[in-house]
Copies of this chain bind each other. A is one copy, B any other.
Amino acid sequence: MNILFIMADQWRADCLGSAGHPLVATPHLDALAAQGVRCDRAFVQSAVCGPSRMCFLTGRYVHAHRSSWNGVPLPEDERTLDYYFSDAGYQVAGIGKVGYPADGERLPSLEAAGYDRARDRLAHPGSAWYERQQGGYAGFLRAHGYNSADPVNEFANTVITPSGRMLSGWDFRAAPHPLRVRAEHSRPAFQTDLAMRFIKEAKQPWLLQLSYIEPHWPIVAPAPYHAMYDRGQVPEPQRHPRELEHPLLEPFRTERRSRPLDSEWVWRSLRATYYGMMSLVDDQLGRLFHFLRAEGLWDQTVIVFVSDHGEYLGDHWLFEKELFYEQAVRIPWIMRSPGRTFDATRGQAIEAFVESVDLVPTLLDLCGLPLGHRLQGRSLVPLLRGESPGDWRRAVVTDWDYRFYGVGERLGIPPQRRRAWMIRDDRFKYVHFLDLPPMLFDLENDPAELHDLAQSGSYPDIIARKRLELLEWRMAHEDPSRSEWLRRRKGSSGVAVPADGTANYGPWGDPATEGVEEPIL
């Protein structure tokens, strides 16, 4: 069984045709969901690219892998998806944004020592091994006639307005205008070409992580996707003036470029083009799925589609991600595995709580590989079979290390205290901050999360319970990588045996004999 792990960047969970979005068309992902399952309550452990991806790749929570923000080194001894499958004999490759930060402090000495780092097989910081091998996107663009020293920026991230003015994709005003590359030369098309080349050349079984950068900002698209959706029809942002009363919101959104989205023209333009970027990716996936069928691989390949987190697009007065609203922490998750095993759930949506840390255990389980003691996620295989394990998680937890933002400094919070944890169950979402007020949302009565119940101070019992749940969740999820390694070898042995093996301690060896008085010796 091959594995095609597709990851989009910043793709909101609600932006799937099959999930009922009023505008965005994703026919190929919808077809995939119709043949597999859609997990409608899938959540990330971090709403920031790097740490979220490290959870997907390690099967471990942020506090365990410790790469808590973009660029924070992943410790050398973390094992990643590629490591597990490469060791199991799979040919592995990564295309697109799959790189992760190496352990900057230790890497040079390890490399000098020739240490065989499994992750080198897949990726390096910045760009993927396979993409680099092909000369990269810049080379691809030049080969197709986009002559420039920097064709990625000059063509693939630049639009021309009707008056002939050129604008960078980083400029919000660029959103309604077409990129200077044709759709078949866009980055998703390039990556899809690479994916097909890899699949054609690869020895089976293979694992391919195909990571599209879209629909992450800059929000610009090639024709016809730039104008595919009418900005007059996009859903309006969900926001309420009282949200800005939380002391983090205004300084944070100011820092994170969110205030422009207060303008209706901006959120309408960004939303319409954001949807266009999704349809562009969806069309490329259609091409890839067609290719898999033509190659006879469709029924020998597990396909997973997820995103690393969502995007606000003006909801809650925010742009991009971070914080813990559903738009950021809930993600699309579609899985399709061939064969008859999962027929019971085909075409269905699963409501069980799924977390990003479940990816590695699920793929290992699907391929009959051992799960090992390091993993903190759970295999979704029982859910895919239609079972409802009684001990399935009842809440999801997301973590945010915001020491790298200016807002912590502005609010006078020391770096080690710039941390927030969210716990979300069926009914409530609770966010605990250090040195800032908490947030509490009743998702049943306020699914849009517009009314922070913690502000009113009238829910002390629920807040106390949520704090206890967070405390206990954290206690029960300490990193098992060292302790479980030993326990599984040693067992829960009870009484420690003295080094010399003479494990007697007098007549008291048998607890039934306690109370014996001074022995005659």
Please name all residues of chain B whose beta carbon is closer than 8 Å to the beta carbon of A67 when the two chains form the complex: 482
Which residue on B lies nearest to A101, using beta carbons?
B486
Which residue on B lies nearest to A478, using beta carbons?
B63
- Could you mark each residue 481-505 of chain A with 1 if its beta carbon is under 8 Å from any beta carbon of chain B, else 0? 1111111001011111010101111
A138 CB to nearest B CB, Å = 12
> A477 interface residue, CB < 8 Å from B?
yes
Copies in the complex: 2
Please name all residues of chain B whose beta carbon is closer than 8 Å to the beta carbon of A109 when the two chains form the complex: 115-116
Contact across chains for B260 and A514 when beta carbons are under 8 A apart: yes
> A66 interface residue, CB < 8 Å from B?
yes
**Category for how many chain A residues contact B:** 35 or more
| Cross-chain contact of A508 among B162, B172, B177 (Cβ < 8 A) | B172
Complex interface: stretch among A72-80, A274-282, A353-361 = A72-80
| Cross-chain contact of A68 among B75, B419, B477, B482 (Cβ < 8 A) | B482
Contact across chains for B514 and A259 when beta carbons are under 8 A apart: yes
- Could you mark each residue 184-213 of chain A with 1 if its beta carbon is under 8 Å from any beta carbon of chain B, else 0? 000000000000000000000000000000
A521 CB to nearest B CB, Å = 4
> A392 interface residue, CB < 8 Å from B?
no
Bound CA span A471–B432, Å = 9
Contact across chains for B432 and A500 when beta carbons are under 8 A apart: no
- Could you mark each residue 266-307 of chain A with 1 if its beta carbon is under 8 Å from any beta carbon of chain B, else 0? 100000000000000000000000000000000000000000
Contact across chains for B255 and A405 when beta carbons are under 8 A apart: no
Bound CA span A287–B467, Å = 54
Contact across chains for A260 and B493 when beta carbons are under 8 A apart: no
> A171 interface residue, CB < 8 Å from B?
yes
> A143 interface residue, CB < 8 Å from B?
no
Contact across chains for B77 and A493 when beta carbons are under 8 A apart: no
Contact across chains for A506 and B260 when beta carbons are under 8 A apart: yes
Please name all residues of chain B whose beta carbon is closer than 8 Å to the beta carbon of A168 when the two chains form the complex: 500, 502, 504
What are the nearest 9 A-B pairs in CB distance? Answer: A260-B508, A406-B494, A161-B521, A113-B113, A259-B514, A265-B518, A471-B471, A173-B506, A171-B506
A interface residues, Cβ below 8 angstroms from B: 63, 66-77, 103-106, 109-110, 113-116, 150, 152-153, 157, 161-163, 165, 167-168, 170-173, 177, 218, 254-257, 259-260, 262-266, 401, 403-409, 415-417, 419, 421, 432, 434, 464, 467-468, 470-472, 474-487, 490, 492-496, 498, 500, 502-508, 511, 514-519, 521
